Amino acid sequence: MKRSATNRRAFTLIELLVVVAIIVALLAILLPSMGRAIATAEMTVCGTRMKQIHIAMLAYVADNQRAHPHPQQWVTLDSYPTSWASQKALEDGQLWRYMQQMQDAYLCPTFKGVAQQFAGLEAKSSICMNVWFGHGNPAAGSWLGKATLTRWTEVRRPGSLMLLSDENPFTVPNYSTHAINNLAMGPGDYHNPASHVDSIGSFHLPQQGDYATGLSNVAFVDGHVEQRTIDDTKEVATPDIYK
């Protein structure tokens, strides 16, 4: 009753190759959709981090006679133009004492990978503050010299004006002349179509791997977050009084 091993039916080479081909085909179908699901989840995490920063800024406002943090001091200019790769820039910033227990909130998880790819640097932060909330610099003599919004209560439509956004670690022609440098996001002159300084990010869910075509998270003064395209930069970032 001894069973011969040669009687056992084995897989033929052809059968094995068919199985391997089916597995490869299934992976090819599943991996991109899984990648997209992960990227969508990361974008949501990034938006939630902006909301955490918004809460920390509210705490700062409460402690500072209703003045909000300065867009170039909330995180400092340590190691400019790559302050976003500096831990010291965070620790010297106005918001640090409110953020120590949630340091992750400074950084969009998607930016981390994109910055490694385009700039070869390890990001410590990436979320940017709207430079229109600066305290004004008449000497600047440009659109930036008009930035005099010192109180959020001066904002007519808090649900329409950007407070925080993503910014790219690369420039996009006709949208930005600067890549992320100081964690302040300045859109340029609303009335001059050729005036491009910074733009909101475009690296979330890019089309065909082109990081200039994707989305940015935008947190508004009222704290809600929306996903916008780079085309929306000046519209969401410029206060009504300068439009």
What binding mask, one character per residue, do residues 2-41 give for Zn ion by CB under 5 A, x or -? ----------------------------------------
Q: How far apart are CA 112 and CA 166, in angstroms?
A: 12
Q: How far apart are CA 153 and CA 135, in angstroms?
A: 14
Count CB atoms within 10 A of the CB of residue 23: 10
Interface segment toward Zn ion; rule CB under 5 A; list 43-51, 136-144, 220-228, 232-240: 43-51
In 3-state terms, what secondary structure has residue 111?
helix
Q: How far apart are CA 6 and CA 2, in angstroms?
A: 12
Handedness of CA 150, 152, 156, 157 (dihedral sign): positive
**167 scored as a contact of Zn ion (CB under 5 A):** no
**46 scored as a contact of Zn ion (CB under 5 A):** yes
Count CB atoms within 10 A of the CB of residue 50: 24
Name residues contacting Zn ion, limited to 192-221 (CB under 5 A). 217
**Could you say which of 53, 108, 179, 236 contacts Zn ion (CB under 5 A)?**
108
Interface segment toward Zn ion; rule CB under 5 A; list 2-10, 58-66, 106-114, 142-150: 106-114
Residue whose CB is less far from Zn ion, 166 or 198: 166
**Shortest Å, Cβ 87 to Zn ion:** 20
**166 scored as a contact of Zn ion (CB under 5 A):** yes
**Are 118 and 181 contacting, i.e. CB atoms less than 8 angstroms apart?**
no
Give the footprint of Zn ion on this chain (CB under 5 A): 46, 108, 166, 217
